[in-house]
Structure 1
Amino acid sequence: MSQRKLSRLARPSVLRTRAGVLAAGLGVSLAAGTGAAFAATGGDAPAAPAASTAAVQHQAAVQAKTASKAVAKAGDAKAKESKAAANAKTAASWIDPVVKYTLSASFGRGGNMWAAKHSGQDFAVPIGTAVHSVHGGTVVKAGSYGAGDGPAYGNAIVIKHANGTYSQYAHLSKIKVFVGQYVKTGQLIGLSGNTGNSTGPHLHFEIRTTPNYGSAVNPVNFLRSVGVKV
């Protein structure tokens, strides 16, 4: 075979080789370009940090909302506690049976005005003066003739308190409560008067250990022991 013929046969081979190289290079370039384009447009891989940030922000919002609810709940609890303390203080308090008065006949006083010694403390006040419960409790007696303790008391009321103490209010002109009724500290229960064995308008007040006559203790000493300045 001549030299010229060999040369012709070799050219297509070389051309094919060059074409293969170019094709390979083009493939590499296309692959590189595609990767660059993928990186530039942001595929699935870059999206992970964004999703993670959103999750953190959502969690922070949830925590902030939870903390806000906790603060509100704590505030409500504190308000309820303060209210309960105020109610407890009111329930524990004792007061005078009348607001403006002059102390007259005292406990244990003797004389021909009483069959025995005076069983209570008299508060000299005009007829119609508001009489208040000295402490919260339940009315156990209310009516004329001393509500069962005798006509000398006139219109009277007896209230039982939680500590087993009883308070009595006598010589009333009006009774504003009924047996079985619960009254709060300071509640209006009647109006002062001059009924029964009385020489002038006043409130006869007793502190008793039972609801009945004969169990009275010094009411002024008792009221002072519970913080009332008589």
Structure 2
Amino acid sequence: MSKFTAIRHSKNSAKKSVLRNRVAVVAGGLGIAAALGAGAANAADSGLMSLSANVGSTVAKQAESQAKAVKDAKVAAAKAKAAAVKAKEDAAKRAEAWVKPVEKYTLGSTFGLAGSHWSHNHSGQDFVVPTGTQVHAVHHGTVVKAGPWGGGDGPAYGNAIVIKHDNGTYTQYAHLSQIQVQVGQQVATGQQIGLSGSTGNSTGPHLHFEVRTGPDYGTGIEPTGFLRAHGDTV
């Protein structure tokens, strides 16, 4: 082999070696890129799955919260409706009830009792209470008498009130220190109508209470038995 041929052969070998190295580098680069691309893709997939799970959890919690709010609202509405029904029933019961004319008292002179204080036998039941004690209507009705001189029944009663009730009976409240209703007024069961006193023919502070079959004096019936018959303990 000539010197020139040897040199040319050496140059060709060097070119081939460089070319193989470049191919290897390019192939390696492509492999690295492919590996990096696959890693990025995997990371992206993982991130999307995590985001999807978080969104799903948030939506589920919101749905659960809304469902609870709707349930609570229904429960509250049902309770309010039940309370309204009960209040209406209680009001109806109170309207039909009969109550005592005063709360704290001592029973005094009874119905039919004979004595020098009355021209005839005692026409009602006395409830001994201090002056200024609240006096209540024993049942709902309409005021038919209210004023001094027994509201027209006579001076012995002092300041008095007579109420007509829906069952055709009447009740009278006498010797009052103050009258707080007027003729024609509608009163409710238990409503305060005046204050006790000692006006008229009275030996001391008390409420004279009558149950009558008519509006005027002389129609009285035994009041404590009447109240007991209508469910009120006297």
Q: TM-score, structure 1 length as denominator?
A: 0.63
Q: Give the share of equivalent positions with the same residue, in percent.
A: 35
Counterpart amino acid of 1:169? Answer: Y
Equivalent in the alignment of 1:221: 225
Equivalent in the alignment of 2:109: 104
* RMSD, aligned CA: 4.6
SS of match in other structure, 1:35: helix
- Give the 3 Å change call, closer, same or farther, for CA 124–64 of structure 1 in structure 2: closer
Counterpart amino acid of 1:103? Answer: G
Give the counterpart of 1:64 among 68, 75, 81. 68
- For these two proteins, the number of residue pairs brought into alignment is 212
Pairs within 5 Å for 1:130-209: 130=133, 132-135=135-138, 137=140, 138-161=142-165, 165-179=169-183, 180=185, 182=187, 185=190, 187=192, 189-195=194-200, 198=201, 200-201=203-204, 202-209=206-213
- Please give the per-residue CA displacement for 1:158-205, whole angstroms capped at 9, x wherever unaligned: 13456654321123344233332636616261323241xx36345331
Is the Cα contact below 8 Å between 1:125 and 1:203 reproduced in 2? yes
- Structure 2 gap segments, 5+ residues each: 1-18
- Give the 3 Å change call, closer, same or farther, for CA 170–122 of structure 1 in structure 2: same
1:95 aligns with 2:108: no
- Give the 3 Å change call, closer, same or farther, for CA 27–135 of structure 1 in structure 2: farther
- Please give the per-residue CA displacement for 1:4-59, whole angstroms capped at 9, x wherever unaligned: xxxxxxxxxxx9xxx7xx98997787556423311213465664333222211221
Alignment partners' CA distance in 2, 1:164 and 1:40: 93
Offset at residue 154 of structure 1 (A): 3.4
- Give the 3 Å change call, closer, same or farther, for CA 124–132 of structure 1 in structure 2: closer
SS of match in other structure, 2:99: coil
- Give the 3 Å change call, closer, same or farther, for CA 164–28 of structure 1 in structure 2: farther
